[in-house]
Structure 1
Amino acid sequence: MSTEIKAPSFPESVADGTIATWHKQPGEAVSRDDLLADIETDKVVLEVLAPNDGVLKEIVKGEGDTVLSEEVIAIFEAGAVASAPAAAEAPAAAAPEAAPAATKEAILSPAARKIADEKGLDASQITGTGKGGRVTKEDALKAASAPKAAAPAPAAAAPKVDASAPVFTGERVEKRVPMTRLRKRVAERLVEAQQMTAMLTTFNEVNMKPIMDLRKQYQDLFEKKHGVRMGFMGFFVKACVEALKRQPVVNASIDGDDVVYHGYQDIGVAVSSDRGLVVPVLRDTDTMGLADIENGIREYGLKARDGKLGIEDMTGGTFTISNGGVFGSLLSTPILNMPQSAILGMHKIQERPMAVNGKVEILPMMYLALSYDHRLLDGKEAVTFLVTIKDLLEDPARFLLEV
């Protein structure tokens, strides 16, 4: 019995999607819950699974095609697993050499395909260890490292070449690939933020030694009790929550001619993923402890790595924290995450000579940057907000005393 395979029901904020990858081909037998296709939207990648055991009979929407919510993308025939091997038998006998390469190409995972394209790998030469011989990301990485050992072979096989001849031919290779929907959407929002807001950035610096000493003293005990490492982000989120309470206009947003003040603190934490920058949101952070915050950030990081972040994870948010320091950035000017009115940028901790009570000391310092919408925030509120964060981080006991 034939069944229509439809695109998932998209949330209200997502108009359509694009077929990114078909993991199964027409005539191929599949099992229940096997991954059939990936649909990429502006925010997340949605998976389409097989509803039952059977055969993928026909693909209606190919890779790169735009699909709407619940639009038919393929025809599936349940229980017809016997026909697939029979159909594949004849071409296998006629072209035994071509079949393995075609099969491997068909079951190359998206992550593995990306690595193969970037490294110039021959997909047919990669041995798949995943389910049904599927080439995984790890298989591609392993294959990418293998040529390093085999690289001397071509040179050894061509001893007739003059040693004075140039090694490179001077060929200038270019590769054109379509921009992903997520990257396009991020680009649109960044340009929109710069065009539609009066964005300004103010800077300060914070002595991280008190936080680092606290972590060193309680790290093992904290991890043993809560099962998660004590990071810096938890302290920054707690400091931002307190500063947002003191300067509620920083937690507000502009909606037309109105200013919307939020009586809660939902803080987005910018996370870098293979698909681009995403900003999952920690909800009601004023009710969360350090362990809750660190656990939440860890879970979002794992979801981002595996491409499992849902639209609900990234919807909303009243304030955003971006940590370019993990990549070594010493100073930057973060761009607003509209419609929010401010974003905090963390940076690399760098030891610098500082004047302390008339003496020079070497201290671990971090530059902080607060970009804000000058249409809503004046310099006084923005600078006061940033100074509050600095004061709280340099005296962590104030978190407990709420002073």
Structure 2
Amino acid sequence: MSNSFETIVVGLGAMGSCALAELARRGVRALGIDRFDPPHDRGSSHGGSRVIRLSYFEHPDYVPLLRRSYECFDRMSHDAGTTLRFETGLLVGGAAGNTAAAGMLRSAQLHDLEVTALDGAEVMRRFPQFAMPRDGDAVFERRGGFVRPEATIAAALEAAARDGARIERSSPVLSWGSDASGAWVETARGRFEASSLVLCGGAWMREILGADAPALQPTRETMVWIDDESDPAWQVGTHSNRMPVWLFDRGSEPAVYGIPRWPGMGSPTGLKVGLHGRGPAIELDSSGGSVDAVIDSEVVAQTLATVAHWLPSARARRVDAARHCLYTMSADSEFVLGLHPHLPRVAVACGFSGHGFKFAPVIGEVLADLAVSGNTALPIAFLAPTRQGAGWMGRG
């Protein structure tokens, strides 16, 4: 079996699995390598659901990428014969003047997106589950919803293998390099060579890149599932007061989010909630054991209390489960995506800062473009590794 390829992809989570699938779809001889056995629960791409939305409050320049990502998710769903993207509607709100709702309106205006601005009183009329300041600001996006992370990765890897890609699972990278003639990766199973290399190792990117890297900080976040007691007002559906995916902006405190139970979801079940970016900074071990750390009961209690402030009926519900996942925070909380500043045969994708999964298929296209031709027509200049906000350290 040859160990020579056109492109090697290191890391087969959200971005890497989609990059490998796209490369294979284009007929590129590609190898994918992962330290674990994806889809797995060692990183940032598990938990049954991830929010997806178009009117992006973080930065309006993400919207063209999101439009393409919606198309890609639907194509992947068709090819895999399973639904990967669900439109439940999305409600984002908070106090009067909150930045999340304002940012959504800005993106919607710039990109002609369908959204509805609401005050708190109207939110509580339309969605009586919630409690908001009557003069608060909110935005409802009909096309918001969630995607299925594990199913997406499985579909991407199945497509990649079907189209001829080779996959090396449970194979940590020992070393890698690149020069004018190509790139190579060393694992316990041998040395693999290629013309180009894609690095998307999630929370392990600091370890993979070494000293020549952007500023990245892994954090350990907590996802909590609350028993919905089969309450229709806590579930997705067609009834008038169904629960959308939701997020409430709390100013300087971590935002709180919720994704309702949906038919066919795996374990755990119930309303999935969390505090976005509340988790502590951590140092990773090679086995991913940081994800296995004992769940902090105080964090779970704080999460439940925060949810109950906006969703009062949560006070009477029990916690069914709690799990950890990892964020990899960049210096400015924006993605780091593009060619390595000092190694033109190496593409990097990292620092997704807890809001990246919804982009996975389009980032797969970006990485395939960069690996094959060294450039892309997709609009990623604002995410360049060389931007000041990325904090790239090392030579140069």
Per the normalisation by structure 2, the TM-score is 0.20
Higher relative helix content: 1
Higher Cα Rg, which structure:
1
